[in-house]
Amino acid sequence: MKPDKVLIVDDDKFIRTILKDALAGRYTTLEADNGQTALDMVFSTLPDLVILDIEMPVMNGIEVCRIIKETELTKRIPVILITAHTNRDEIILGMQTGADDYITKPVHPPEVLARVDAHLLYKNYYNELERRDLQMLLELYDIVTVLRNPMKILLFVVEKIADVIEVERCSIISINDVNGIVVKACNDLQENIEIRLDLNRYPEIRKAIETHQAVIVNDVKNDLLMEPVRQYVEALNLNSLIVVPIIKKEAVIGTLLLRTTMKLRDGISERISKLTHLVANISANALENATLFESMQSAKDLFEEMAIRDGLSMLYTHRHFYERLEKEFSRAVRHNEPLSLIFFDIDDFKQINDKYGHIRGDEVIRQIGALIREFVREIDIAARYGGEEFVILLPKTEAPGALELARRISSSIRLFRYKGMGDEQVTISAGISTFTGNSNQSFTQLVDMANQLMFKAKSEGKDRIAIMDQSTAVNQS
């Protein structure tokens, strides 16, 4: 039997190498370094799974995923997204377009293999399951994928397993740095009651945590693994147990384990092992989706937010900026408050495109957007004004505060090392205008003044900031 094919899509060769090494020996890997090439390969080779970076040149991963999932021939191919840890909006949008899972950077090979296994290795687990097992899995999937409360998902899972497998106890255990080991849900405990455990009393849990693999004990009283706790288990009315990791790096509840104990003298059967692995996988995806959706009021909120974001820089669009500018200007006038605006342009951006190509130029835009997001406050409005021009509106901010922010952003952009550009620096020229609360400016004049000052900074040598109430630009070199 030929190994399953996994298509790895990332414009970073180093990331592709890490992913290939993680899957080596178990899967056949294919590679693509941009979205369009990825689509061509998906339709020509029909891989069994696609690992897809969200941020890519030519076509981003979310758009590639959308096309895969909307095409009849490819819609059942599992897609795992790769994204930065902080890009939760992109993760949610990717899941909405049909992605089956995601991994955050930095990439960890054991997690990659576990996630791919969850989608490909377990597909054969459905063989030999009983009819009621399949009915339970279908019911479980239908219910937990629409639940948005993680605790309700956990409780539903343990009750279903206990009922179908007819075990004495099924519990889901959380392991994290804050609370240690906690039983989050159990079929024979009252809802919303948590029990803390001593890890030293549960060597099977310790092994599952350390190995990220399922642990099966078929003879609790004689298995060598249980030797350190022999005095505790001898009096218990159980013979077998299985612990299955619910591997989800981003799960807010912590690392989860599905632990099932039973009296079965014949040990854990193949059926029970397969069933618990499948349930753990379904639970992991459902829990992660629930956690993601808790961060937004609804999917509608997400799509409304993405509609006003520039797709490359992830800053607000030109149109949304003016909508917010008018409102913030009216508020500043009404409350007699200062309002500052930074308008800046990337110096010699055409030369960057000509020298390194438009893909690298797009990468500069994308990275500058990320750098700006690190500096602005929640009340600030940062937007891509157009092309290589950016604007930041700063409510309740006087000129000195705007100048300080502009200097920090300018320095950050200059010091950053952009992919594929070696040590070459990127600089900006900026203009700052301020409404003081008692002037006769309009909101459009505020933008025009900052724009004029930006051109003044360029004309005086670039890599500078020009301020409205000063006659000379501030040298940034």
First to last CA, the chain: 63
pLDDT digit string (tens) for 213-269? 788 988 888 899 999 998 888 777 778 888 888 766 443 343 445 566 666 667 788
Q: Report the CATH fold assignment for 127-294.
A: Beta-Lactamase (3.30.450)
Instruction: Please give the structure tokens belonging to residue 314.
Output: 């992830």
Surface-to-core class of residue 279, CB atoms within 10 Å of its CB (0-12 exposed, 13-18 middle, 19+ buried): buried
Tokens read off for 64: 């590639």
The 3-class SS string of 198-259 reads CHHHCHHHHHHHHHCCCEEECCCCCCHHHHHHHHHHCCCCCCEEEEEEECCCCCCCCEEEEE
Q: Are 466 and 348 in contact (CB under 8 A)?
A: no
The domain ranges of the chain are: 5-109, 127-294, 308-475
Residue pLDDT, tens place only, 261-303: 666 667 788 888 888 877 877 777 666 666 555 554 444 555 5
Reported as a single tens digit per residue, the pLDDT across 49-107 is 999 999 887 788 989 999 999 988 998 899 999 887 555 667 777 777 888 888 888 88
Task: Of 307, 338, 337, give the one whose Cα is nearest residue 323.
Answer: 307
Question: CATH 3.40.350.10: does it fit domain 308-475?
Answer: no
Task: Name the band, by pLDDT with cuts 50, 70 and 90, for residue 7.
Answer: very high
In words, the CATH class of domain 5-109 is alpha beta
Q: Confirm if 475 and 427 have CB atoms less than 8 A apart.
A: no
Query: pTM score > 0.85 for this model?
Result: no
